[in-house]
């Protein structure tokens, strides 16, 4: 089967001021796969994610060089940022619940993108909450403040908000780091099911999570891509000793 390249980084270099964070990074992400990115702290994993929806733009010290494309379009020169962020959604490590009701949390992105029809919003909210495995738990609480939900429910609420605007790519930055095992299992189950529709990139410090859900895994170290391969192969017979040392817990 021919794989479609959804995201491509070519000779990507990123620095904040004089501090280099990513160095000559070249990486492809295929359509409808889960690519996990593992590596020790300060290896550039989150910076790479934030480049993909241009969240790094808010930092005055941010400097970018190289090429980064989504669907073949250079996202640093040929696309409007608002349109990009509709295509590329992000779920953060800690739930970023907005100070409003459960319903309005999910509807927020829809309204920002100009959708006003109440029926369309209601349908999208239910569909997104269903996809995030949350509908049955909150269908009678849509008018409650989102902060009243449990931590795991809040994270799934954030996932539903991302899904509501119908993105093509979902980025996850340690989405389960603050969750209990049951909530983690629900997020992971959703990820696996989402492969039918979305391309997903998961940054995680939990190598077991990467092994459970990812089709391919990339290992970052000190701002560089050490290797990327089929997840099972990378975890059982990595090409680089540094990858083996990290997976085996000898450092990191």
Q: Which of 207, 206, 212, 205 is nearest to 190 (CA)?
A: 212
Tell how strand 224-230 and strand 216-221 pair up.
antiparallel
Q: List, in sequence order, every beta strand (DSSP E) within 31-176.
A: 34-38, 62-70, 73-74, 88-91, 169-173
| Cα 107 from Cα 109, distance rounded (Å) | 6
| Cα 33 from Cα 48, distance rounded (Å) | 17
Each of the 252 residues of the chain gets a pLDDT tens digit; together they read: 678 999 999 999 999 999 999 999 999 999 999 999 999 999 999 999 999 999 998 888 999 999 999 999 999 988 888 889 989 999 999 999 999 999 999 999 999 888 899 999 999 999 999 999 999 999 999 999 999 999 999 999 999 999 999 999 999 999 999 899 999 999 999 999 999 999 999 999 999 999 999 999 999 999 999 999 999 999 999 999 999 999 998 876
CA distances for 157 relative to 51, 60, 209, angstroms: 24, 31, 21
| Cα 18 from Cα 21, distance rounded (Å) | 9
Q: What is the pLDDT of residue 178?
A: 87
Q: What is the pLDDT of residue 216?
A: 98
Model confidence pTM above 0.85: yes
Q: What is the pLDDT of residue 129?
A: 97
| Cα 70 from Cα 88, distance rounded (Å) | 9
Q: What is the pLDDT of residue 1?
A: 66
> Would you call 86 exposed, middle or buried from its count of C-beta atoms within 10 A (0-12, 13-18, 19+)?
middle
| Cα 216 from Cα 33, distance rounded (Å) | 8
Ordered by where they begin, the domains of the chain are 5-247 (3.40.50.300)
């Amino acid at each position: 089967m021919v794989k479609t390249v959804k995201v491509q980084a070519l000779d990507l270099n990123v620095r904040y001021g004089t501090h280099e964070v990513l160095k000559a990074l070249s990486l492809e992400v295929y359509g409808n796969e889960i690519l996990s990115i593992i590596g020790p702290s300060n290896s550039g994993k989150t910076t790479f994610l934030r480049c993909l929806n241009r969240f790094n733009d808010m930092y005055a010290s941010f400097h970018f060089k190289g090429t980064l494309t989504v669907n073949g379009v250079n996202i640093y020169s040929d696309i409007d940022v608002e349109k990009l962020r509709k295509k590329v959604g992000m779920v953060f490590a800690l739930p970023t619940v907005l100070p409003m009701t459960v319903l309005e949390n999910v509807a927020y992105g829809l309204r920002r993108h100009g959708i006003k029809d109440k029926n369309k919003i209601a349908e999208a909210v239910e569909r997104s909450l269903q996809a995030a495995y949350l509908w049955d738990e909150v269908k009678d609480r849509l008018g409650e403040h989102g902060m009243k939900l449990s931590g795991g429910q809040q994270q799934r609420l954030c996932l539903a908000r991302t899904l509501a605007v119908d993105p093509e790519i979902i980025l996850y930055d340690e989405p389960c780091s603050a969750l209990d095992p049951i909530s983690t299992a629900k997020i992971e189950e959703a990820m696996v099911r989402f492969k039918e529709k979305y391309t997903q990139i998961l940054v995680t410090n939990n190598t077991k999570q990467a092994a459970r859900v990812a089709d391919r895994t990339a290992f970052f170290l000190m701002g560089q891509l050490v290797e990327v391969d089929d997840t099972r192969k990378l975890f059982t017979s990595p090409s680089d000793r540094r990858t083996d040392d990290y997976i085996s817990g000898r450092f990191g």
